[in-house]
Structure 1
């Protein structure tokens, strides 16, 4: 099973590599605005650096509306480093997105734009590729407040300022972070995210559907929902109603030797099925890289490879 797990990881990594190449090619050919930079008076003055994948996009989404309000006064851009994130935010983010995967792209952005402030919402290690530029002010705004050690990480010293919600955050930094003066480097801004009216994802207290009880719910033979004494032989009760027949509730069976053997046989079938699926994935992924299969018919080549990998 360790071999299967390793093969699964290799296949998944190859798939991700292929998907990344396709996204980069799409940006190069069809999403060129993600690589363009404005000139003149429209140059960006504020940037938010987000090097993460979309799994952490919740850290960014809560700052959409405050940044949109800020964009009414100065040009704002979201700076991303991943092609998947760039294409996803291109569809949902109300602000301009700039894709800068390499350090050279970061240098081109910093030198061509009039950046005054760069915001950071997390402690991603790639933040230091942007912190090396001493032109703009680097500000850590985080994505929430808590009493975790993350909130007084020693990495906060790398930023020029830390924007916090209130006095409790400043006291937390003064207590836990050495050689850091919160009175000079901490600015209290509250939580601007709560000044926005958000559309709830679901309707609270939505009216429940009315349930009409049309049958006698007494426990009698039949379909179980009506008073028919005829035991149905089909999937529904045809004597008095069209109620679907309910599946009988089976009692939990105790462990026995025969059931243990049945479970073992079923596990063996599942293992062989999984092995075939892994082999099919390998063959499917290998085609874009020009890997040629043997001259044998497809079924024979697959069985030979399966035997070589798992039964030799």
Structure 2
């Protein structure tokens, strides 16, 4: 059932665009769940709430006492943060009125499902809906899998060698090439940024090709998130994803954050089993709506 005019007006009145004076309150909301909120928190901790630097707007929802209670990052992705039913309805109405500008909706499964139910009529159809993506985390090195000693940080002069593996991973995972649209300029810049910051890892084969790769994408003081895990097709089935992940996990815990997380498609049973063997356990679930 769609909300009536009174409910819509009340919902919109409880939301507004956040700016610099709201930063401390926004960080308090983000830090309630460092693992689930890592993607948004890493951006806000780095650049604050200025839309130009943030790469999108940050909307806030305020409770009846006027306290900031929930967030919605509206950039290339639309991401809910600590959003209950009332906040979801308010953010959905704001998003509907603005129109779709994002390429995906990503976030905690329950809230994201409720948001999509309100937006699907005006924003749909989606190219793909991944309703349940287990969120996994660990605070300890692998007790079962020996880290691959050949996995190391990718060097700046190896970006061109790494790029084909990154493109292959993205295309397999998302279903479209990251080189579409702008020719891949933004994607290449992001890959280079991760390499330059020491957050891209790989094992290279005897001929210099990438055999395994992964990145640490989101990084906050409380948690970090591994992404882009990929093994070259001709090397799959050899356990390289497990030993490679164990190596990246060791580095992440030692040098980056006390909690390491990732999320995975529920239908990827092989990857889920590999991550569990490395030591990751499910702590929640995400949902993604891809356009």
TM-score norm. by structure 1 comes to: 0.25
Of structures 1 and 2, the larger Rg is shown by 1
Give the strand-richer structure, 1 or 2: 2
Highest RCO, 1 vs 2 (Cα 8 Å, sep ≥ 6): 2
TM-score norm. by structure 2 comes to: 0.26
Give the helix-richer structure, 1 or 2: 1
